[in-house]
Amino acid sequence: MLACKEEINITAPIILIENTSVSVLDTVIINVEQYVDIDGDRINADYFEWYIENSDGEVIADDFPDSETIVWVPQESGYFLIKVKIGYNKNKSITTIKEITVMESVASLQKKIIGHWKGTGTRRYNGVPNGNWGIDLYIDNKGHYYGQADYYEFDPYCEKGVFNTERLDFDNGNYIDSCGIPGNIPCQRLEITGIENNKGFGIFWGGWGYVYIDQYNYNCSDVYDIEDLEISSDGKQLYFEFNNRGADDYYEWEKKFMLTKQ
């Protein structure tokens, strides 16, 4: 007697993502549509094995349930491949793939800039180069920053702070004999308020540092802000810039900063 040969028909599965766009820390609902029949009778899948790879081919998530639908909360931006292996009839399987790009979010970019950074700041006035300086900078989880700068080369009295915008007031002829303002002014911070094409936009908040009877002090009662902050980071490099027109609207500050995480 001849054995009956089973006819297996597998429709190529399709991964569907409910979200129209995806940013870091979004809740992403992912579903796979699949259909298999044997001799015309539909059969259920034996299992679903999900995993997600980054652009380097590394698996960054695989702890998903054995289900047609999974939920993923991406922890970083970038290009990813969503893969699912579907098993049928005990010894057969098919794998399908879906590409996805995860964009930065305000929270994820603010988190990336946390840490200790060193690098260089440059400034231009009215489009003309006007010096550069070294920066040693710390940024906390609220965007608060403090650090030191080194720009004796073009500002020997060190009248400016880390970003060459913070004012240092002189009193009784005393001054800080080190470049930049080394003190920690609580109201100084880099605040990201929006994201566009993975670049952050926001506000640079500053405070006043001053010396009184040989003692360094700060004043946060008169905080100023510069709203043209642009910032980007991959977690290893940090780039930001801001522009500010003077109070009398007669010159333009353009500041750019390139820093490396320590």
Q: Is 236 left (phi over 0), alpha (psi -120 to 50) or beta?
A: alpha
Confidence of residue 254 (pLDDT cuts 50, 70, 90): confident
Do 32 and 113 have their domain in common?
no
Do 149 and 246 have their domain in common?
yes
Q: Which of 103, 121, 145 is the last residue of a domain?
A: 103
- Domain assignment present for residue 1? The answer is no
pLDDT of 180 higher than 70? no
pLDDT of 24 higher than 90? yes
Do 67 and 166 have their domain in common?
no
Q: 117 is in which domain, residue-wise?
A: 107-261
Tokens at 84, concatenated: 């699912």
Structure confidence by residue, pLDDT tens digits, 112-163: 999 999 998 887 777 777 777 778 888 999 898 887 776 555 555 544 455 5
Q: What is the pLDDT of residue 228?
A: 77
Q: How many domains are there within the chain?
A: 2
Do 182 and 62 have their domain in common?
no
Do 45 and 174 have their domain in common?
no
Mean pLDDT score, 198-208: 81
- Domain assignment present for residue 71? The answer is yes
Do 30 and 123 have their domain in common?
no
Do 95 and 136 have their domain in common?
no
For residue 207, the tally of other CB atoms under 10 A from its CB is 21
Do 93 and 203 have their domain in common?
no
